[in-house]
Structure 1
Amino acid sequence: MSVIFALSNLQSRLPKRETGHHNHADKLLLNPYIYDPAVPAAIIGAIIMLLLSLGLVWQFVRYKSWFFWTAMIGVVMETIGYTCRLISAIDEHDDVPFLIAFLMILLAPSFLAAACYTAFSRVVWFSCPTHSLNFKTLWCFPSYITPTFVIFDLLSFVVQLAGASTVSSNYNKDDSPSRSIESSERRVTAGRVILVLGLIMQVLCYLSFAIIALRYFIISLSFRCEDLGDWKMWRRLSYLINFAAGLITLRAIYRTLEIPHDKGTGLLYLQRHEWCFWTFDAFPMAAVLAVMVIWFPARYLPRNYTGLTLDKRMALKQKEDLGSGGKGEHVDAVPVQLREFRPQDFDGGVGVRV
């Protein structure tokens, strides 16, 4: 509902970016881009995003991976965004497709990041020994991994929206025929500062999560003989989380650097050239979707870990039972004999052997 409200609220004040083209009356044309968007690139981008999204949705339904629902919102937004970008590239002067593409492409990574937060939480509760489920070991509270990062990400989004609204309002008050979003961003210092602050907060959120996830991947090497026994069953899921978190962080850094500065030089190059968008925004997000398709979480987690919610007491009891050979003794009481588990070994879970 918030996205729909944003669409209706911003449609009438869409910031346009000037091009050097003129119509038959020699009047300056304004379109949403500083550059002339390449239609072939838009076609390829829309097709790739659609195929990757379909692959993710199919696996989401097949493996009943309900906890991954935020990723489904993200892929739908990516598909809509790049489809509308194609329409906007064909007809540069139609505001609506550009606005939808702008919002969808900007917001979608937040939902994909939220999916990584949730997947990381499941990996921790599945693989981490009971005595290590604490802040000192994990550098985060295990019971609040997902809400902690989601709230921080949401706060950064609200700050970004406030800055973008300030800049956009100033743009609407400018009656100059050569107005552009660039000039408004440079002129309204407060709006630009707020927008950059929101983007920096988002980068810090993604970066802190990437550091924590990578650190856990490294320290979990020592957990192999104390966890549920099968390092290989969730190792590839850890690859997914770390790779996706890294790419989303790099993409957020690009978005931050893209904001114009007071001088018309330097990092403005990122905003004025389309190849930068495809290289530093579209390609990283396509790669994130690709690794999610290849290492889909439900293929490497037990079925009772892929539901909408996770019963943490069940997870702890399951660890103890498996660690003690099913006798209900504590995992430290009896030496653990390493064996290879499959997702099907846990309450009839759906998955594949890895």
Structure 2
Amino acid sequence: MSDTCSNVQGYVDPNWPRPDDDGSSCIIIYGYVPSFALGVLGVVLFTTALVAHSYLLSRYRTWYFSTVIVGTVMEIIGYIFRILASKKNPYSVAYFVGQYFCIVVAPVFYSAAIYTLITPMTKRIGREYAPLSPKVILWTFIICDIIATTIQMTGAGLIGRAYSDGKDPTTPNNILLAGLAFQVFSFAVFIFCLLFFLVRSRNTTDRHFKIFSTAVLVATLAVYLRTCIRLAETAEGLLEFLSTHEAIFGCLEFLPIVIAVYIFVYWHPGRWLGSESIHKKTGKSELEVSQLPR
């Protein structure tokens, strides 16, 4: 090991010598060698979800929900990087930054998709039950997501640069922390708006809508749980307990996002709220259209 790495504290796998190249960190930044099995499972599950969501998007033309596709592609790329790290080089800064960036930012696109559901849900039930107009709610939280994503992307990129240059990553980590904190706050406000809408409209909705809204709420809370865990991990600091145990990553990062993505495979808004073309022609959901007298 070079003199540059001699004083660096962190995890080094005794069974995996550090490659002598400029693209490798002095330590394994994950705090462990990433699991190959978890990486493959991530690629398989998110690829399957991508195929399903692409089909549903094309069938129902719910273009407002297309950010789910972007988020799922990013998840796939993130887990491919984890596979590469597990098999080729766990010290690689490029692999770490690639998976970190994709997996941290991807859920922002899922939350953006959830924000868009307020509009068709409000059209279905009635504007009077929402705390604000659907457009105000949508664009307020989309802008919040853009701000949070920009800050997180900046922080994640600077963290990789700091590790690559052997510098202290504390300041970049604080930038990432600010982006996550802002996202947690804005998402909490959205959840309040969603609950306000669902509680006020509970006596006027049919069984199908109640089932769908419950699924939306569960998926929303799953994404929010993951965001809170990322905030706690970043606040604790890099190379600390939360970020260096893959079991925590698997249970509180990987699993909640998988749950949210697959909830929307079955409870897809196109199936439960209707496609855009159906709304434009009849103002009714696909389920309501199927129940019309023929």
Q: TM-score range by the shorter chain?
A: 0.7 to 0.9
Residues 191, 26 of structure 1: alpha-carbon distance in 2 compared, 3 angstrom cutoff: closer
Secondary structure at 2:57 match in 1: helix
AA in 1 matched with 2:177 = V
What letter matches 1:289 in structure 2? V
Which structure has the bigger radius of gyration?
1
What does 1:147-296 align with in structure 2 at a 5 Å threshold? 147-174=139-166, 184-185=168-169, 188=170, 190-224=171-205, 231-259=206-234, 261=236, 268-296=240-268
Quick one: which amino acid aligns to residue 233 of structure 2?
E
Instruction: Look up the match of 1:343.
Output: 286
Contact preservation (8 Å) 1:206, 1:245? no
Match of 1:8 in 2: none
Q: Which amino acid aligns with 1:152?
A: C
Q: Read off the aligned partner of 1:257 and give its amino acid letter.
A: A
Are 1:233 and 1:342, in contact at CA under 8 Å, matched by a contact in 2?
A: no
Displacement of 1:95 in angstroms is 4.4
Give 1 or 2: higher helix fraction: 2
Aligned pair in 2 of structure 1 residues 260, 69: CA closer, same or farther (>3 Å)?
closer
Q: What SS does the aligned partner of 1:221 have?
A: coil
Match of 1:228 in 2: none
- Once the two structures are TM-superposed, the CA of residue 51 in structure 1 deviates from its matched residue by 1.7
Tell me if 1:33 matches 2:30.
Answer: yes
Q: Is the 8 A contact 1:247 1:284 kept in 2?
A: yes
Structure 1 counterpart of 2:272, from 291, 296, 300: 300
Are 1:71 and 2:64 an aligned pair? Answer: no
Q: Deviations over 1:130-177 (max 9, x none)?
A: 5x1xxxx523332222211010111122223344455445444437xx
**Which residue in 1 is equivalent to 2:4?**
none
Q: Quick one: distance in 2 between partners of 1:303 and 1:25? A: 53
Q: CA deviation at 1:108?
A: 1.0
Asked if the contact 1:19/1:33 (under 8 Å) is kept, the reply is no
Change in 2 beyond 3 A, CA 1:22/1:204: same
CA separation of 1:20/1:344 partners in 2, compared to 1, >3 Å: closer, same or farther? Answer: closer
Structure 2 stretches lacking a partner, 5+ long:
1-8
- Aligned residue pairs total 279
Aligned-residue offset at 1:74: 1.3
The letter for the 2-side match of 1:46 is V
C-alpha distance in structure 1 between counterparts of 2:36 and 2:196, whole Å: 42
Work out whether residues 156 and 199 of structure 1, in 8 Å CA contact, stay in contact via their aligned partners in 2: yes
For the 8 Å contact 1:159–1:198, the answer to whether it is kept is yes
Cα-Cα RMSD: 3.3
Residue deviations 1:179-237 (CA, integer Å, cap 9, x gap): xxxxx34xx3x44433222111011122111221122112111334xxxxxx2343333
Deviation at 1:26, TM superposition (A): 11
SS in 2 for 1:19: coil
Letter in 1 for 2:14: H
Cα distance change on mapping 1:166 and 1:107 into 2, 3 Å: closer
Deviates more, 1:53-62 or 1:275-284: 53-62
Name structure 1 gaps, 5 residues minimum.
Answer: 1-15, 176-183, 225-230, 319-340
Helix, strand or coil at the partner of 2:186: helix
Distance 1:286 1:41, change over 3 A: same
SS in 1 for 2:201: helix
Does the 8 Å contact 1:163/1:193 carry over to 2?
yes
